Structure 1
Amino acid sequence: MRDSITGDARLALDLALTIRHDGNGGVTDDLTGPSALTAWVHARPDAFPHPEQFVAGAAHLTAVRDLRTALRTLFAHAVRPARPSPADATRLLPVPEALRRLNEAAARTPTVPVLDWDGGDGPVVRRRPVPDGGQDPAAALAQAAIGFLAGPDRERLRACHAPRCVRYFLKEHPRQEWCKPSCGNRARVARHHERHRRAG
């Protein structure tokens, strides 16, 4: 059993989970406007360079929401052959479009050339992200999503299918079926009611 989630996985999941059940049979968006995105970035001080200085604008919000749509599409693709989250069933992009959005967002991260020169080998130039590289949360989120989707944690990704849940989660143990215990309780109650309805 694994009990840790990498930073990339946590950030990618956190973005996906800004779409959640609204308690009334639908879904709600936690990123309702630029101020909500600003607060969301500020709440993740380890994920962004200088998050305390970030103030979102309409373009930031659009970019992050577009990235989230691409990410949830790729999450749905990753959990196949299982069903995607119910929130995504009718909102999925074609996978090539989702990949294009993700890669284009990641490419907006500014980089600088860095010279490495080890011992007897000749100099090698590598590119490194600029530490204070602008205020584009979508670029940082896209890079985290790529790290997660290309890494080993992707194999543990699941969609929760408890009634009224639209979350994705990482499976922590072999028997885990739901994102949290309350979802497991709702699923058991729903199965119990369905059995009694059929028997009655």
Structure 2
Amino acid sequence: MSATTPGPAGPGGRLALALALTIRHDGHGGVADDLLTPEGLTAWVRAQAAPPHDAPDAAAFTADARALDAVRDLRAAVRTLFARAVRPGPPSRADAHRLLPEPVAVARLNAAAALAPAAPALHWPPEAEAPVLRSAVPADRDPAERLLAALAREAVAFLTGPERALLRACQGPRCVRYFVKDHPRQEWCKPSCGNRARVARHHRRHRAEPAAE
């Protein structure tokens, strides 16, 4: 995964989680932000493997400064509500000191979700045995508004669904990622964080041992 083209959303199309993870550890002890420029947002949108059906065409989407500001504002709301969801555990260290007031985050999320109203639509291709319910937004809606509304609705679905209870902030050394606990014994967002945590514990124990006489 490069700094400018983050990978696609994880299992189950967790696009809200993927949006939160555009703030991440930079590999050098700091925090990186993949959405610093319109080009970064464009790359992230185009990298999503399974965008929602009510989102604009990812391959044709090009972000501008207005779209970037709106998505960054939405991300701040999502990360604030993720921090609430992981309680009593600690939030991500990336922005624990600058989270939004929770009522502001909720209002911002709901306002974004309402920007491009979606209607239920039946999808039943000839080769499919059963139809599928999807949501549809008129194609002539502003692409930036369609993107923001689709991201917000994905966040609402995540936060009101069963995976919210499995959301965690990784406590690996230097890590600032949120993750969904897919396995009962999972403690870290990825194995490398677990390895760093074990090395850090080893060094702490070694320093705590009294010097040999």
Interval containing the TM-score (normalised by the shorter chain): 0.7 to 0.9
How far, CA to CA, are the matches of 1:113 and 1:174 in structure 2? 35
Identity of aligned residues (%): 63
| 1:17 paired residue among 12, 15, 21 | 21
Is the partner of 2:32 in helix, strand or coil? strand
State the shift of 1:66 in Å. Answer: 0.6
| 2:39 paired residue among 35, 38, 52 | 35
How far, CA to CA, are the matches of 1:24 and 1:112 in structure 2? 45
Contact 1:76 1:83 in 2 (8 A): yes
Q: Which moved more, 1:15-24 or 1:159-168?
A: 15-24
Which residue pairs with 1:120 in the alignment? none
- Superposed counterparts of 1:122-133, under 5 Å: 129-132=136-139, 133=141
Contact 1:103 1:142 in 2 (8 A): yes
Does residue 1:165 correspond to 2:175, yes or no?
yes
Contact 1:85 1:167 in 2 (8 A): yes
Residues 14/113 of structure 1: CA separation in 2 closer, same or farther (3 Å cut)? closer
How far, CA to CA, are the matches of 1:189 and 1:198 in structure 2? 14
| Structure 2 residues without counterparts, runs of 5 or longer | 1-9, 122-134
The root-mean-square deviation of aligned C-alpha atoms, in Å, is 1.8
Which residue pairs with 1:153 in the alignment? 163
| Structure 1 residues without counterparts, runs of 5 or longer | 115-127
Contact 1:45 1:52 in 2 (8 A): no
State the shift of 1:24 in Å. Answer: 2.9
How far, CA to CA, are the matches of 2:120 and 2:35 in structure 1? 35
- Higher RCO (C-alpha 8 Å, min separation 6): 1
Does residue 1:135 correspond to 2:139, yes or no?
no
How far, CA to CA, are the matches of 1:130 and 1:30 in structure 2? 27
Give the TM-score of the pair, scaled to structure 2.
0.80
Give the TM-score of the pair, scaled to structure 1.
0.85
